Amino acid sequence: MYKDALVFAFPTYIPLTPSHMLICPIRCVRVIGKLTDKELLALFALREKITAALRHSFGARGFNYAWNEDKVAGQDIPHLHLHVVPRKAGDTGITRYKPCSFLYRPGPRAPSPEEELRGVSELVRHSLLLN
């Protein structure tokens, strides 16, 4: 549907909602961190163009965006691709969007204790300083 020197886009053959699109870098990389700055900017610039076109063409009013990295996260195709899922009132496909229902610990759960969140923050902060 669209292609330039760095990125391309096409409608997926298994859409979550009508006009669900995929945006990919031309260069085959498995994870987003392997993109060059130029490729990353091109990917997100195309995302802007695609969302504007979907607003105009299909009446989209909102979007869900996603990509999976590694098999444990559901990546079946080792070529990075950004899902652009257009949303509008009364659309078909996904009728409710609640990430915790399918991304992690499904069902009701208690909020994490403040002490646990501070511990997580400290570990990540320490790792950031190492890199």
Q: Check: CB of residue 60 under 8 Å from CB of residue 87.
A: yes
Please give the share of the chain, as a percent, with pLDDT higher than 90.
50
What confidence score (pLDDT) does residue 89 get? Answer: 87
Q: Indicate the number of domains in the chain.
A: 1
What confidence score (pLDDT) does residue 123 get? Answer: 84
Least trusted range by pLDDT, from 86-90, 106-110, 112-116? 106-110
Domain assignment of residue 15, given as a range? 2-97
Does any domain span residue 126? no
Q: Check: CB of residue 36 under 8 Å from CB of residue 58.
A: no
Does any domain span residue 115? no
Q: For position 79, which CATH number holds? A: 3.30.428.10
Does any domain span residue 103? no
pLDDT at residue 47 above 70?
Answer: yes
Phi/psi of residue 71, each to 5°?
-60, -40
Please state, as a whole number, how many other Cβ atoms lie within 10 Å of the Cβ of residue 54: 22
Q: What is the chain's mean pLDDT, rounded?
A: 86
pLDDT digit string, tens, across residues 10-33 = 999 888 888 999 999 999 999 999
Residue 57: name the closest of 100, 21, 94, 24 by CA.
Answer: 21
By annotation, the residues acting in catalysis are 81
Phi-psi region of 28 (alpha: psi -120 to 50; beta: other; left: phi over 0): beta
Query: What span, in angstroms and rounded, lies between the C-alpha atoms of 57 and 62?
Result: 13
Q: pLDDT band at residue 125, thresholds of 50, 70 and 90?
A: confident
Q: Check: CB of residue 10 under 8 Å from CB of residue 81.
A: no
pLDDT at residue 3 above 70?
Answer: yes
What confidence score (pLDDT) does residue 92 get? Answer: 65
Does any domain span residue 117? no
